[in-house]
Chain A
Amino acid sequence: LAKTTQPISMDSYEGQEVNITCSHNNIATNDYITWYQQFPSQGPRFIIQGYKTKVTNEVASLFIPADRKSSTLSLPRVSLSDTAVYYCLVGDKDGTNAGKSTFGDGTTLTVKP
């Protein structure tokens, strides 16, 4: 399973764009990159998933360079409610590894007023 490395913490202010980068040098050909958000005492919540280039949904964008050894989660115009821990995971595409993923340490994002 590919190991991921993220910054331990980040601070931002309301209304700013936040970019969190994750390194996954050993990503496998079939691996997808998935980001989750977790609030205290809650289960993680799916944010976005991608395989290559750029993916955008209603809450975030995910940028993946051609070598796929890293990825960047971009949160536009954060608010106080975006304060949470963000996890980057890499995992196989078709479940050949039973879809097992390993959570890294995550990035604690603190949004200040």
Chain B
Amino acid sequence: GAVVSQHPSRVICKSGTSVKIECRSLDFQATTMFWYRQFPKQSLMLMATSNEGSKATYEQGVEKDKFLINHASLTLSTLTVTSAHPEDSSFYICSARPPSGRKGGNEQFFGPGTRLTVL
């Protein structure tokens, strides 16, 4: 079945540095990928929708200049947290949708998540 990977699974960085997180769909092409953020004991919050070959669509309140999203190919989307601060520490999760018609409906396949800790 559809598999989505994320790299790295865990990253610790110093305040002010930038961190890049990769999301790959391993056995299908995804024209659309989603990026979520999840704080402890909270639900997933959609940050942005990543579209292959075009600019990402950000949710209200998410700074596009801070969270840079690049969907360079049909199997890879990256999220770069620029000038990270401790409040950016969170669990970042991506998801991808198979091409329309493969399964129908609105099924998303999620990556395993990336734990970011900013010191």
- Please report A residues at the B interface, Cβ cutoff 8 Å: 31-32, 34, 36, 41-46, 49, 51, 87, 89, 91-95, 98-106
Number of interface residues of B (CB under 8 A): 28
Query: A51 → chain B, closest Cβ, in Å?
Result: 7
The answer to whether A92 and B112 have CB atoms under 8 Å apart is no
Number of inter-chain CB pairs below 8 Å: 72
Whether B28 sits at the interface, judged by CB under 8 Å, is no
Which of the candidate stretches B12-20, B61-69, B77-85, B91-99 sits at the interface with the other chain?
Answer: B91-99
Closest residue of A by beta carbon distance from B40: A40
Measured CB to CB, the residues of B under 8 A from A are: 4, 6, 32, 34, 36, 43-46, 49, 51, 57, 91, 93, 95, 97, 100, 104-113, 115
User: What residues on B are CB-neighbors of A101 within 8 Å?
Assistant: 46, 106, 108
